Structure 1
Amino acid sequence: MNDSPGSPLIEVAAAYMPRLSEFSFEPGLVAAVDQHAAAVCDALIPPQRGPEGRTVHREELADYVLGFTDWLSEVDWTEPVGHDFATLRLTAVCWLIREHDLLGGVSPGA
């Protein structure tokens, strides 16, 4: 998978990365996003790789995002004001992108 402007990681980062700035204003948001990030990691990383092998890979996360956003389209989800399950999950994806440097210097929206 390449990270051209159509990449699902770039698109999600452009839309939801700004929500990470809300962490300093909403302490509960940090815990919620952390739980969602852990759930994404659990979905991507087989248990046999264990905690020392908990590395999120760009291709795996991109595939996860494609499946998740396809599901959101199927259920006609629209982004609410505030945070729901989907916005928390997509914000968690952005946290993982940032923490694991999965865009490798590519700027969201570039």
Structure 2
Amino acid sequence: MSPLVRISSAFAPRFAEFAFEPAFTAAVDQHVAEIRERIAAGGPGLVPRQPHREHLTDYALGFLDALDELDWREPVGHDYAVCRLTAISWLVERHSLLEENSENLG
């Protein structure tokens, strides 16, 4: 299973928490900005460019590997990893990166 599919399946449901957890929303927004910068999806102008699916997939794989090495388990609340994984999921959803993947398979 693709890491983006795995992350999105697990963390997209947390988007519902944005409605009543403003601190979580702000933290995820900061993580989105940091991920964009790390995978070079930033650019001039007010609207950031769409991340490349391959770059986000590589980043997600590395992040998941690091979590595995730490034997991380998802907590009830919001830690750094939950915010980062939710941010990855948000980028996938916002830019329809899973749809692009299914189009390439068909």
TM-score range, shorter chain: 0.7 to 0.9
Mapping of 1:20-35 within 5 angstroms? 20-35=15-30
Q: What's the RMSD between the two structures over aligned residues?
A: 1.7
Letter in 2 for 1:30: T
Pair 1:16-2:11 in alignment: yes
TM-score under structure 2 length normalisation: 0.86
Report which of the two has the higher share of helix.
2
TM-score under structure 1 length normalisation: 0.83
Letter in 1 for 2:91: L
Pair 1:86-2:69 in alignment: no
Per-residue deviation, 1:30: 1.2
Mapping of 1:91-110 within 5 angstroms? 91-104=86-99
Per-residue deviation, 1:79: 0.8
Residue in structure 1 matching 2:36, options 41, 46, 54 = 41
Distance in 2 (CA, whole Å) between partners of 1:62 and 1:31 is 23
Per-residue deviation, 1:51: 3.0
Residue in structure 1 matching 2:56, options 61, 76, 98 = 61
Per-residue deviation, 1:28: 1.5
Per-residue deviation, 1:27: 1.4
Letter in 2 for 1:40: I
Give ranges in structure 2 of 5+ residues lacking alignment: none
Letter in 2 for 1:45: A
Alignment length (residue pairs): 99
Distance in 1 (CA, whole Å) between partners of 2:8 and 2:70 is 22
Distance in 2 (CA, whole Å) between partners of 1:54 and 1:97 is 13
Pair 1:50-2:81 in alignment: no
Per-residue deviation, 1:54: 2.4
Residue in structure 1 matching 2:66, options 57, 60, 71 = 71
Per-residue deviation, 1:20: 0.7
Distance in 1 (CA, whole Å) between partners of 2:69 and 2:54 is 23
